[in-house]
Each structure stands twice: as C-alpha cells, then as structure tokens.
Amino acid sequence: MQHEHHDNFLNIFNNSLVGMLLTDQHHIITEVNDHLLQLAEMERKDVIGKTALELGILNEEFVKILWEEVAENGKLLNRELAFKTKSNKPVHGLFSTEKIELNKTGYWLTTIIDISERKKAEQKLSEVHERVSDSELRFRTLTKTAPVGIFETDATGSTTYVNETWLQYSGMKFEEAMGDGWLNAVHAEDREWLIKGWHSKTEIKAESFSEYRIVDKNGKLRWVNGKAVPVKNSDGNITGYMGIILDVTERKEAEGKLKESSEQLRELSRHLQNVREAERMNIAREIHDELGQQLTGLKMDIAWLMKKAGQDDPVIKTKFDDTLLLIDGTVKSIRRIATELRPSIIDDLGLNAAIEWQISEFSERLDVEIEFENNFDDKNVPSDISIGVFRILQESLTNIAKHAGAEKLKIKIEQLDNTLQLIVQDDGIGFDTKAKQTDLSFGLLGIKERTGMMQGECHIFSKPGGGTTIEIKIPLG
C-alpha cells in the first residue's frame, strides 16, 4: 500500500502543470518535475543534489524572508519570486513551500507557479495608468483581453470596474460586481476574513495579498490568488486600487491530493506499528509460556532420570549436571528474548517501572553511569503512548551503545502541562547533524517516526565531540 501511495504521489508530482520540487531536511533537491525544468531551462542532472540557492532560483535575501515566515507560520505561501533562466530570460513566479512526510521521511514540497505573463500584464497596466488621461480606451481594451481577472476600486475600496476574465471566474454580471457586490462570489467561509483583511489594507493605504475561493452561479468552486496595489495621482494621493486575481485551482487540488496521500501514509505506518507490537506481545507470551513450560518439564524429567541412574558413575553425573545447567541457561535466554520482544513489566506495572528496568539493565550491561530523573505520573497513560515512549528510549539507548562511546548519560522524564517530555543526553562522540549518516540515521529516523505517529515533536542536537541530546514531546490529551 505504501508503494501505491508513493506511485500516486509521483504521478501527481510529475504530471502537474505547476513547477514542483522536493528537498530534504538540508534543502538539497531530491526530485524535480518536468514543468519546473522547462520553466527554468535546466536539466535534471544539473539540479538533483543541489540547493535552489546554488542554482540561482533563490537569493540570500529571499531565503532570509522565507525562513522567517516558515518559522512563524510553518510554511510559506505565494511569495513572489524573480530569477533568470540559463538563457538569461527573466521569470516571475509564486513560491510556496511546506513540510510533508513521504515514505516515513520529512521533505519540503515547493511549488513555483509561473506568473510572468501576469507580471507583464501588471507592468502594462501600470504603464497604462501613467497615461490614463490620454489612453483610457487602450487600457480598457487591454484589460478586456487579459488572461487574468482584473478589477479597479475607488479610494475607499469600493469596486468600480472588473474585466471579462473576472466575470468568467465569478459568473456575475458587470453591474452585480460593483461596489461590494463582488463579495457575493466569495465562498461563505472565506468572506468574513477577506472583508476584514481588505478593509484593514485600504485603511492604511497598503498593498493587499490574499488567497481565497470563489463560487460561480453554477456552484463551480475556483481557488484564486489576489493582489491589489494603490493607484496614485501626480500629487502622490491614492485615487483607488487596481488588482489582479489568478486562478490557482490546479495547484490547490494538487496540494490537497499530496497532503491526503501523506496523511494516508502516516496512518498506515501507525497501523503497521500497532500490528507489529501486537505480534511481538503474542510471540513473547508464546515463547515464555510454551517453551518455558516445556523446558521446566524437561528439567524435572532429567532430575528424575538422574535420581534413578544413581550417583555411582561420575561421568554420567557430570553429564546430567551439564544438561541441567544448559536448560537453566536456555530458560534465561527465553526470558531475555521474550522481554526484549515485549517487556511484561510495561503491561503489569506501567511505563515508569519499565523505564527504570530498562535503564538499570542498560547500565549494568554496559557499565555506564546514568543519572535518571523522573517527575512523571504514569497513571491513565494510554497503552500506545506507553509502549511508544518505551520504544523511543530503547532505540535511543541502542544508538548510544552502538555509536556514542559515552561514559555518562542523563535521562529525564516529566510532564509539562498536558505534554510528556523525555530527554536523553550523552557525553559521547556526537556527530554532525547535517552530514549524511548510515545506520545511525535509521535509528534516529525510527525515533522521529514513532514521535510523529503520537502527534509529538522530536528535536535532536549534536556536534562532533559534544555528545548528543534527544528531546521528545508528546501530547497526552
């Protein structure tokens, strides 16, 4: 099923009429569709493995703005971007990016919509307005044939003109769109915030940007991206606003399908993890109960044989003793394997007891000093969260044992408001979080995946020679 979702994603991605690219957590481009390659006049081999900054699609100033907005909103929507192709051809685009999950891995999905024609139209409109007193007729002819929706308002923001394309988008008549009538074409759920935003911008005489839905009289829904700029006379006074709306329905539908596919993949991963835990529990129970009972019976039979055979022959007695020792060792191995598969302590005594047992076992096995602080009440914690947190700690300790070379660990679990926080810190060799990892990265990926399936947050801090800290926050509500 994962392959099916992945294939659906690639089909949408590669056949989209919107420029798209995928970047990893280090912003290295891992995939790009043909539409963007054609737009940028680039070849795939020259793009994969590089950043948009290295390719000249982004500049330092744009990247700074991008990450400021991403830090505030978690994504960037419809920021205008200008760059030049290999042949020095200028391109104007609407740049959007947000984080998605694909095949259990986080990526940044970026879309670039070519608005070069719109920018040319805006430029033409600007030139027309500079000569409006002498060329009103030419201006109306231009707007009438423009491939984007165009509108004009007075200084208060009341609509005074819309072009043919705008009317086609809305399904309204020219007279119906005048004043505030255009709002009747706006989707009911978008109307209130759009009105507030538009009025707030006109009050301060500022440019307006928005993305909203319009519905024509036949019920057809269309996503549009709108922009309005103040129009000033020769004295610098604002006489009105001129704006453009661009149909971005295809892009929004593509984003919706990608988001749905990502959610389905996450739900599938959660289901598979639950199935895996159930299987582990059943196997652990069968190993402990069935094999344990059989070995106990075997030990009793051997003891009976040993008694019947007598103690005269030292060779036979030694063989019996060795066999009993072997059985005792096998019983211990079965208990250890069953515990590693699914510690019964987590079901019988709760998360805190299981964590304390795991820490004690790890410290004894590797002779590592562990400072443990527990300020968490594990009563009423859902079983899926308990086993998830336990597995995260287990994977963290496994990574430390394999890679860190640590001598001292600090482990802390506590509850902050309605959030469980787990911190695992070691004084080991650390690693470069930006460098490519091998088997270490799979362990860290497993930790991030488990955290994501519980709607939590995972942060990993490390540097060469400076140890590693893993911070997990999981909502309990």
Residue 325 has a pLDDT of: 83
Residue 282 has a pLDDT of: 66
Q: Which helix or strand (DSSP H or E) is residue 352 part of?
A: helix 351-366
Decide if 271 contacts 1 (C-beta within 8 A). no
**Any residues with CB less than 8 A from the CB of 213 and at least 6 apart, and which?**
186, 187, 189, 190, 221, 222, 223, 224
Q: Which helix or strand (DSSP H or E) is residue 132 part of?
A: helix 132-145
Tens digit of pLDDT for each residue in 218-242?
889 999 999 999 888 878 888 888 8
Provide mean pLDDT across the span 162-180: 91
Secondary structure of residue 227 in the 3-state scheme: strand
CA-to-CA distance for 118 and 242, rounded, in angstroms?
A: 13
Tens digit of pLDDT for each residue in 291-301?
767 777 777 87
Place of tokens 């569709």: 33
Chain mean pLDDT for the chain: 82
Nearest to 36 by CA among 25, 49, 52: 52
Instruction: Pick 383 or 80 by higher pLDDT.
Output: 80
Tokens of 320: 């019996």
Instruction: Pick 134 or 287 by higher pLDDT.
Output: 287
Q: Is the pLDDT of residue 441 over 70?
A: no
Residue 379 has a pLDDT of: 81
**Any residues with CB less than 8 A from the CB of 106 and at least 6 apart, and which?**
24, 25, 99, 100, 448
Q: Is the pLDDT of residue 203 over 90?
A: no
Residue 431 has a pLDDT of: 85
Confidence of residue 396 (pLDDT cuts 50, 70, 90): confident
- Alpha carbon of 302 to those of 168, 290, 298, 319, 335: distances in Å? 92, 18, 6, 11, 21
Tens digit of pLDDT for each residue in 332-371?
777 677 666 666 667 667 788 888 888 888 888 888 888 8
| Long-range interactions of 131-138: CB distance < 8 A, separation 24+ | none
Secondary structure of residue 373 in the 3-state scheme: strand
Instruction: Pick 132 or 469 by higher pLDDT.
Output: 469
- Tell me the pTM: 0.41
CA-to-CA distance for 399 and 403, rounded, in angstroms?
A: 6
Tokens of 327: 């059985």
Confidence of residue 20 (pLDDT cuts 50, 70, 90): very high
Decide if 392 contacts 420 (C-beta within 8 A). no
Decide if 180 contacts 158 (C-beta within 8 A). yes
Decide if 35 contacts 124 (C-beta within 8 A). no
CA-to-CA distance for 241 and 152, rounded, in angstroms?
A: 6
Give me the amino acid identity at 227.
K
Provide mean pLDDT across the span 94-116: 88
Provide mean pLDDT across the span 400-406: 84
Decide if 34 contacts 14 (C-beta within 8 A). yes
Tens digit of pLDDT for each residue in 238-293?
888 889 999 998 888 888 888 777 777 766 666 666 667 667 666 766 666 667 67
- Alpha carbon of 71 to those of 77, 262, 307: distances in Å? 13, 22, 76
**How wide is the angle at C-alpha 397 spanned by C-alphas 396 and 400, nearest 5°?**
90
